[in-house]
Amino acid sequence: MQHPYPLHLDLTGRRVLVVGGGPVAARRVRELVAAGAAVEVVAPALCEDLRDLLPSLTWLEHDVRPAEAPDLVAGAWLVHTATGDPAVDAAVAAAAEARATWCVRADAAELSAAWTPVTVRRGDVTLSLTAGGDPRRARALKEAGSRWLDSGAAPLRRRRTGDRPGRVVLVGGGPGAVDLLTLRGRRALAEADLVVTDRLGPRGVLAELDPDVEVVDVGKTAGNHPVPQDEINRILVEAARSGRQVVRLKGGDPYVFGRGGEELLACRAAGIEVEVVPGVTSAFSVPAAAGIPVTHRGVSRSVTVVDGHEATDVVRLAGVGGTLSILMGVSMLPEIAAGLIAGGKDPATPVAVVEKGWTPEQRTTTAPLADIARVAAEAGVRAPAVVVVGEVVEALHEGGRA
Ligand SMILES: C[S@@+](CC[C@H](N)C(=O)[O-])C[C@H]1O[C@@H](n2cnc3c(N)ncnc32)[C@H](O)[C@@H]1O
- For 316-357, write each residue's pLDDT tens digit: 888 888 999 999 999 999 999 999 999 999 999 999 999 999
Q: Which residues contact 45 (CB under 8 A, 6 or more apart)?
A: 21, 61
Q: Which atom of ligand 1 is nearest to the CA of 356?
A: 20
Res 152 pLDDT > 90:
no
Res 382 pLDDT > 70:
yes
Cβ of 201 less than 6 Å from ligand 1: no
Cβ of 294 less than 6 Å from ligand 1: no
Cis bond upstream, residue 55 (ω within 30): yes
The percent of residues above 90 in pLDDT, for the chain, comes to 78
Res 182 pLDDT > 70:
yes
**Strand, coil or helix: what is 114?**
strand
pLDDT at 145: 94
Res 399 pLDDT > 50:
no
Quote the CA–CA distance of 121 and 299 in Å, as a whole number: 45
Better pLDDT: 222 or 175: 175
Res 309 pLDDT > 90:
no
Superfamily assignment of 15-116 in CATH?
NAD(P)-binding Rossmann-like Domain (3.40.50.720)
Phi, psi torsion values for 279, nearest 5 degrees: -135, 170
pLDDT at 400: 43
Cβ of 227 less than 6 Å from ligand 1: no
- b/e per residue 270-282 (b: at least 16 CB within 10 A): bebebebbbbbbb
Superfamily assignment of 283-399 in CATH?
Tetrapyrrole methylase, C-terminal domain (3.30.950.10)
Each residue's pLDDT tens digit, 205-215: 999 998 889 99
Nearest to 83, CA basis, from 11, 28, 138, 9: 28
Average pLDDT over residues 227-248: 95
From the candidates 198, 250, 345, 356, which is the catalytic residue? 198
The percent of residues above 70 in pLDDT, for the chain, comes to 96
Distance 304 CA to ligand 1 centre (A): 15
- Which CATH class for the 168-280 domain? alpha beta
Q: Which atom of ligand 1 is nearest to the CA of 201?
A: 16
pLDDT at 189: 95
Take atom 15 of ligand 1 and give the residue whose Cα is closest: 282
Mutate to test the pocket of ligand 1, among 198, 200, 257 (most ligand atoms within 8 A of CB): 200
Residue 198 a catalytic site member: yes
Radius of gyration of the chain (CA): 29
Mean pLDDT of the chain: 92
pLDDT at 213: 94
Mutate to test the pocket of ligand 1, among 255, 305, 386 (most ligand atoms within 8 A of CB): 386
Cβ of 356 less than 6 Å from ligand 1: yes
Quote the CA–CA distance of 207 and 204 in Å, as a whole number: 6
Domain residue limits, the chain: 15-116, 168-280, 283-399
**Strand, coil or helix: what is 360?**
coil
Q: Is the Cα dihedral 53, 57, 58, 64 positive or negative?
A: negative
Average pLDDT over residues 374-387: 97
Cβ of 282 less than 6 Å from ligand 1: yes
Q: Where does the pLDDT of residue 375 fall: very low under 50, low under 70, confident under 90, or very high at 90 and above?
A: very high
Q: Which atom of ligand 1 is nearest to the CA of 329?
A: 25
Average pLDDT over residues 284-290: 98
Residue 356 a catalytic site member: no
**Any idea what DSSP says for residue 369?**
T
Q: Which atom of ligand 1 is nearest to the CA of 355?
A: 21
The helix (run of H) or strand (run of E) holding residue 57 is strand 57-60
Q: Where does the pLDDT of residue 200 fall: very low under 50, low under 70, confident under 90, or very high at 90 and above?
A: confident
Q: Which residues contact 1 (CB under 8 A, 6 or more apart)?
A: none
Quote the CA–CA distance of 23 and 51 in Å, as a whole number: 11
Cα three-residue angle 13-14-20, rounded to 5 degrees: 115
Better pLDDT: 56 or 159: 56
